[in-house]
Structure formats: structure tokens, C-alpha cells
Homo-oligomer: A and B are copies of this chain.
Amino acid sequence: MNTTFEIPKATERRMILLMNLLDSYTEDKITSVDISRQTGWKDSVVRHDLWLLKKSAVESAETTINFDGVSNGYRTADLREAINQALGLEIQKKNCCIVGLGRLGAALLDEKLTEDSPFVIKAGFDSNVNRVEILRSNFPLYPAHEMNWVIKQEKISLAVLTVTDKDAQVMTDRLIAAGILGIVNMTRCVLKVPPEVKVENLSIINALKIVN
């Protein structure tokens, strides 16, 4: 009972997407083939993922989730529960901040961004004091030099980085110094971070190059 079984990254990503799909799914039951049709994933991938999920639930002994699947498809309610458990989301809202309030960053000040999500934005930062004063939002905006204390005081663990390329690594270093654990990087740059900090790259230009 100590094999420390982890859900694979690839499966985790799919489960996050599946959860979104289930949130707007009204039927009582769903089969792996239904999911396959709506996502384009192979039905065997879906079953395999769900099998891994169950394995992880059993091994962590949290709850022996009963999918009640065989020959009937999965009950959607059970699936939602199982995925939430496995991903450890929705238990406690996590605090985030936005770093860089240019056009893109400012667009994220919209309160709708995080509604129905397990995240709360607690702060916005920009080196340009002017922007900090002019922009309106539901949460406070601060000049960038106040990042360290704000992040600590507000217990912010995640950041969305929307600064210019030249500021990307500098601001990342400051975020790390303040103890941030996850960064959503909307710049084109590769961020150098210590191994405990997770980065997800979301640059639109880079994405266009990939799908091109």
C-alpha cells in the first residue's frame, strides 16, 4: 500500500477537459463511445484513463469510487465525483494573480473569467503605475514592486503572466522569490523555473506556429 501510484500527465489533461464536457452533459449515463464521439479521443483511451483513475482512487483509499460501468456506461454523477477526487480540485479555491496589465492582461480583469472555476483572482500587477491607477477591476491592482508582500499576504499560489517578452524572466524570478507554485505563461518566452514550479505555456503566436 505504498506504491505511490500517480495519475499520468496525459490522462490528467484529458480528465480536465472531460470534466468540462460533463459539466454541460445532461444525460444520466455516458459510455466511452459517447465520450469518444464528442472529443475525438479513441474510446479505448477513455476506458484506459478511467481505469487509471479508479486505480488511483483504490490505492489512495480515499473512496472506492464505484463507476458501475460494465455494460451500462458510466453514471455521469459518479464520473464527475471521481474526476474531482482524482484531480483534487474544487476542494478549496486557489488564489491567483495577473502579472502584466497590457491589453491582454487587462482583458483578464473580467470577473467572468474565473466564475464557475476553483480559482479566485486576488491581485493584478504592472510595472506601469499609471495602468494600475487607471484600470478598474473587482480585485486590487498594485505596482509590480509590491508583488512580494501581496503574494505572501494574500496566499497567492498561481500566476498568469501577460507581460512583454523582455520582462518575462524578470517577473518570473520575482514570482518565484515570492513563493508562487504555478505559472500560466502567455508570453513567447521559455521561462526558467526551479523544478517545484509548474509552467504551462499559452502563447498565442507559439500556438499558431504549432497548428500551422
Contacts and interface: CB of A to CB of B under 8 A. Distances in A.
Contacts of A118: 209, 212
A57 interface: no
A169 to B, nearest CB: 9
Interface stretch (A15-23, A128-136, A147-155): A15-23
A45 interface: no
Interface in A21-63: 21, 24, 37-40
A65 interface: no
Interface string A170-182: 0000000000011
- Number of this chain's copies in the assembly equals 2
A21 B212 CA distance: 20
A115 B118 CA distance: 35
A158 B208 contact: yes
A7 interface: no
A144 interface: no
Nearest to A187: B20
Interface string A195-212: 000111110111111111
B204 A184 contact: yes
A1 interface: no
Contact of A165 (B24, B110, B207): B24
6 smallest beta-carbon distances between A and B, as pairs: A182-B211, A107-B107, A198-B211, A200-B207, A184-B207, A39-B190
Given A17-B189, A21-B189, 12 more contacts: A20-B188, A38-B192, A89-B212, A114-B205, A158-B211, A160-B204, A182-B208, A182-B212, A184-B204, A184-B207, A184-B211, A200-B207
14 contacts: A17-B189, A20-B206, A37-B192, A39-B192, A89-B212, A94-B208, A103-B112, A107-B107, A113-B205, A118-B212, A157-B212, A181-B211, A184-B207, A200-B207
